[in-house]
Amino acid sequence: MAVVNIVDLVSDPERWRWGHRTETTMNLFYYPAACSLADHIALIETGLPYKLLGITHEKKTEDGRDFLSLNPKGYIPALELDDGTILTENQVILAYIAEQSGKLLPKDGILKWRTLEALAFMSSEIHGNYNPFFKDFPEPEKVRAREKLKKAFALLADQMGDKAFLVNNEMTIADCYLFWVLMATPRSGLAVPKNLQDCFERMKAIPSVIQALTEEGLI
């Protein structure tokens, strides 16, 4: 285990932040442009040390391991902690990142719960209704999904109002997920409300978003 002098941490906080203690680096298992992008953005925005590990269609990890042995669910995102523990599900991983960093989640009051509420809503009512488009279901199922998505996006637009971000005027983990949700919308053929689209365009200029998109080969 590395020995870190407390004086060094005070005089050079970036040394601590960017992982000279390599045992604290987390592995994010991902597919480019998949919903794991939300966690990727959050990791960069919070400054937590991480490593990206891609997954092949044969469920092999970029570093040669069997992904199914690590995560029997078989899908991403999955976050491997420094002790080998695997966390799954976007809501959980994003909340973990926020807790570990002390960033991207309001500390007190109803805004904290509104942030977690928004994550749950997007996961069930939007992400879940993308399946007919991702998996090319029959057209009647796509039509039903579009109606549900239209209603869900209207509710999110009402929640955002004229704020800079979804919950308040500061970026939260809900916005990391919202960015991916909005990026995936064209697959459904649905236009989103203007304030949500404007937020998406603003977020594309945020350094952490640019870095995540670049690292995944999307720009």
pLDDT tier for residue 74 given thresholds of 50, 70 and 90: very high
Q: Taking all residues of the chain, what is their mean pLDDT, rounded to a whole number? A: 91
Cβ atoms of residues 157 and 193 within 8 Å: yes
Q: Please determine, for residue 15, whether its predicted confidence score (pLDDT) is greater than 60.
A: no
* C-alpha neighbours within 13 Å on the C-beta side of residue 40: 28
The highest-level CATH class for domain 110-210 is mainly alpha
Which residues share a beta bridge with 63? none
What is the phi-psi region of residue 138: left when phi exceeds 0, alpha when psi lies from -120 to 50, beta otherwise? beta
pLDDT tier for residue 203 given thresholds of 50, 70 and 90: very high
Separation of alpha carbons 200 and 98, rounded Å: 21
Whose structure tokens read 């029959």? 138
Residue 12 is predicted with a pLDDT of 43
Residue 108 is predicted with a pLDDT of 80
Domain chopping of the chain, boundaries: 6-102, 110-210
Report, as an integer, the average pLDDT of 72-76: 97
pLDDT tier for residue 6 given thresholds of 50, 70 and 90: very low
CB within 8 Å of 210: residues ≥ 6 apart: 204, 219
Give the amino acid at 213: L
Residue 24 is predicted with a pLDDT of 76
User: Counting beta carbons within 10 angstroms of the beta carbon of residue 19, is it exposed (0 to 12), middle (13 to 18) or buried (19 or more)?
Assistant: middle
Residue 16 is predicted with a pLDDT of 36
Separation of alpha carbons 185 and 180, rounded Å: 9
Q: Please determine, for residue 97, whether its predicted confidence score (pLDDT) is greater than 60.
A: yes
Report, as an integer, the average pLDDT of 125-154: 97
CB within 8 Å of 190: residues ≥ 6 apart: 146, 149, 150, 153
Strand order in the sheet with 78-80: 50-54, 26-30, 78-80, 86-88
Residue 122 is predicted with a pLDDT of 98
Single pTM value for the model: 0.88
The conformation of residue 35, written as its DSSP 8-state character, comes to: T
More confident residue, 133 or 10: 133
CA distances from 45 to 82, 130, 210 (A): 20, 26, 11
Report, as an integer, the average pLDDT of 158-162: 98
Report, as an integer, the average pLDDT of 24-37: 96
Domain 6-102 has CATH 3.30.70.2190: no
